[in-house]
Amino acid sequence: MSVARPLGRAKGSTRMFSPPLQSGYGHFVNTTILEETMKLFFKIALILLAVSAFAFAQTWTPEMQIKTKALASPNISPDGKKIVYTVSYEMLTADKSEYVNQIHLASTDGTNPMQLTFADKSSSNPKWSPDGTTIAFTSPRKDNKSNIYIMRLSGGEAEMITDVKGNVQNFEWSPDGKWFAFSMTDAKTEEEEKNAKGAMIFVGLTKI
């Protein structure tokens, strides 16, 4: 059994080990940075909650509904300086309304907020690459099937990494940032669709 050795810690902080993707590897997170970042995230959420509570105190209108945003999936960069998270937006069309998640980026001190994705389909579950240069996420942009995409902070469009017939449920970067391990649901057959049967879960591995 391989045991990863902590790299040391700043005074007054601890390091938390997360389960390894493969034997001998693990991730160490400075819990002081984690705590401060989560405080910031919850402050933003509380502000939005206060706005929402005020709106409920007024006569509720569709315009107020559109302005109410939900924050989720905070993820801290490896150097602890940035955070990505999702914001839920209501999309209104002539025949329906739905919520779409978009990925946002900000410094962990609350400055420099910016929106990263603008697609018609939701972008969810953002995760940093080990070197902090790239953000991976899932989105059903092609054929309504959830796949893994990556977006480099240096610029450019999001790039689709997987192309599965089912839906990617969850994923993790490899420690060297060259692979993704992911779980996915198998695509339903016409018979399964007809009988409303659930699809099986599979585990995959893909190289970037």
Please name the residue that has the structure tokens 């997170």. 29
Q: Residue-wise pLDDT tens for the chain (208 aa)? A: 333 333 343 444 443 334 444 433 344 444 455 556 556 666 666 555 555 555 555 565 666 656 667 889 999 999 999 999 999 988 777 777 788 999 999 999 989 999 999 999 999 999 999 999 999 999 999 999 999 999 999 988 999 999 988 899 999 999 999 999 999 987 666 666 566 555 556 566 777 7
Token code pair at residue 34: 């984690």
Residue 204's pLDDT is 66
Burial group, residue 103, by CB count within 10 angstroms (0-12, 13-18, 19+): buried
Check: CB of residue 190 under 8 Å from CB of residue 168. Answer: no
Check: CB of residue 178 under 8 Å from CB of residue 172. Answer: no
Nearest to 67 by CA among 42, 85, 46, 87: 87
Residue 134's pLDDT is 98
For the chain, state the CA radius of gyration. Answer: 19
Question: Rounded distance, CA 74 to CA 84, Å?
Answer: 6
| Residue boundaries of the structural domains of the chain | 15-164
Check: CB of residue 90 under 8 Å from CB of residue 98. Answer: yes
